[in-house]
Chains A and B, each alone.
Chain A
Amino acid sequence: MTVADVVVVGAGQAGIGVAAALREQGFAGRVTVVGREEHAPYERPPLSKSYLGATPVDERHLGLRAGGWYADRGIVLRLGEEVREIDRTAAVVVLGSGDRLPYDHLVLATGTRARTLPIEGGDLDGVVVLRGLDDARLLRRHLDRARTVLAVGAGFIGLEVAAAAHQRGVRPVVLDVASRVMERAVTSTTSRFFADAHRAQGTDLRLRTGVGALRGRHGLVTSAVTTDGAEIQADLVVVAVGVVPDTALARAAGLRTDDGVVVDAHLRTSDPAISAVGDCARFPEPVSGRSARLESVQAATDHARCVAARLAGRPEPYAAVPWFWTHQGPLKLQIAGLGGDLDREVVRGDPAQGRFSVFGFRDGRLATVESVGRPADHVAARRLLAAGAGPTPDQAADPAVDLKALAAVAP
C-alpha cells in the first residue's frame, strides 16, 4: 500500500526528526506532527546544561527549526494537542479536541515522563523535575533565589544540574541510593573520576543515601530527611531519578509494550502500520544484540531516519551505533556503544590528568568506549563499533596503537 498520510505523535527530537527525514527522502505525502506542549519544537539537551548555567543560552535559540521551516515543507504542526486515542481499525488518531486524523502510517514518538518521588513533602513548592521546557523555566526561576539545591539522583541530569548550580554560586548537594554516580550508564573508573571531580569543586555528594521525606515552611521546601536520618537544608530539590517511557497510548491501542513500545529491527510495532521512535521505543539494538530503550539525541535522530527511509520506499534495518554525551560544567563525557556486563575494561590515557578513555569488552569484543577529554577516541570508537571490528584489549591499552588508523582500515 502506498503511504500518503503520515501522522507523528510527539514533537520532540524524534518526532520532528521523522518529519524532516521524510522530506529529505523526497516523501511527498501529508505529514502531520501532534505535540502536547504549546512550545514550538525545541532541543532538550541544553535544558539541564547551558540553559541553567551562569550565562544561559537564550530560549529563542533552542528551537529545533526556525518558525517558517515547517510550513515551507508542508509539515503540519498541531501543537498543544493531546492524542486521546488511536483507532487502529479505522486507522485514525483521535485528538483531545475531537479532531480525527486519518493515517496510512502512524509514528509514535511519545518520549518519556520524569519519575517523581512518592514521599512526604514531594508536592512542596521548590520540588521540581526536569524534562521539558516548562520544567526548566520553573527550575531556573527557583535557581535565581536558591542557596542550596539538592539533586536527588546522581545520574546525568542530577549531576548536570549540580554543575550548573555550582556555576551560579548555588551550593549543590547530590544524593543517590546507588553506590556510585551514573551507576547504570558508566564503568566504575569513569564514575569515580566524576565523583571526585564534583566533590573537588564543592559538591556535597552522598552515595548509598535516599530521601525519606521533604520538609517545608509556608509550603516551600526547606530540607530533606535522608534514609539514614540526616537532615539536609535545601531550598530547592530537583528530583532526577530517571524517566518512564510514555506508552499509555500504545498500550490502550493494544500494541506490545515492555518498558517501552516494542518494535522490530525496522522499528515497526506489533501493528505494521505503526512505528515507534526515540526514547519511547524498545528496539533490538544491533551493536550489542540486546533489547534496548535509549534516551539520547542519537537514537531519536537515527530512528527517525530509519523510519523515514522505509516510508519513502527504501527500507533498511536499523544499524546505528549508540552514542551519548554529558556536559557537567567543565567536565565532558562522550560514550559510544552500550556498557553493562563487561568482562574486561581497559583504560587508555590517565584519569589523573582528566584525559582518558575506558574501553569495555564483552565476550572478547569491544562493546563500549567512555571518553573524557579524548574526543578522537570517541570518534574512532564509533567507527570501530559500526564496523564490528575493534582493537583487542592489548591494542586499546597501548598508546602507540593509532585508533584512527585502525578505524580507517576497519571493514
Chain B
Amino acid sequence: MPTITFRQPDGAELRVDAPVGTSVMKSAVGADVPGILAECGGQAMCATCHVYVTDDRALPPVSDEEDEMLDCASAPRTGHSRLSCQLVVDEDMDGLTVLVAGEGP
C-alpha cells in the first residue's frame, strides 16, 4: 500500500498508509493528521483539507471546482496548493510528501 507523509508547518511528520482509490484527505483523516479538517467530507466544498505538494511527480490536474475552492482557503494559495480530497491515491503516489496548509496566518 502506498505511504504518504504529512508534514506540519512546524516540521513534524506523520507517515500514513493510503489505500489506493481513496483520497489523500481520507488517508489523513483516518490517521488523525492534525490540520486536515475535511469539514465537508470530501466534496470540495470547504477547502479545509488544503495541502502543498512540492513533489514534481505528475498529479491529476486541478478541476474547476477545486480551483474555485482553493481561492477561498484560509492559508495562502500557491502554485503547489491542492485540495487533498480531490487527490485520489494511486500506486505512483507511494512516498509522496505533502505539507499541511492548516489554518494559515
Contacts and interface: CB of A to CB of B under 8 A. Distances in A.
A133 to B, nearest CB: 15
A379 B42 CA distance: 16
Interface in A371-401: 373, 375-376, 378-380
Contacts of A69: 30
A368 interface: no
B72 to A, nearest CB: 4
Nearest to B23: A61
A46 to B, nearest CB: 8
Interface of B: 19, 21-23, 26, 29-30, 32, 39-43, 45, 47, 65, 68-69, 71-72
Interface of A: 13, 23-24, 43, 45-46, 58, 60-61, 64-66, 69, 297-298, 301, 325, 327, 332, 334, 373, 375-376, 378-380
Contact of B45 (A65, A325, A380): A325
B65 A332 contact: yes
Given A43-B41, A60-B21, A375-B72, A24 B26 contact: no
A20 B90 CA distance: 27
B30 A66 contact: yes
Contacts of A60: 21
Contacts of A46: 43
B53 to A, nearest CB: 21
A69 B43 CA distance: 21
30 contacts: A13-B41, A23-B32, A43-B41, A43-B42, A45-B40, A60-B21, A61-B21, A61-B23, A61-B26, A64-B41, A65-B29, A65-B30, A66-B19, A66-B22, A66-B26, A66-B30, A69-B30, A297-B39, A297-B40, A297-B41, A298-B39, A298-B40, A325-B40, A327-B43, A332-B65, A334-B45, A373-B68, A375-B69, A376-B68, A376-B71
A58 B22 CA distance: 9
Contacts of B22: 61, 66
Closest 5 CB pairs of A and B: A379-B72, A66-B30, A375-B68, A325-B45, A376-B72
Contact of B39 (A61, A64, A301, A334): A301
Contacts of B47: 379
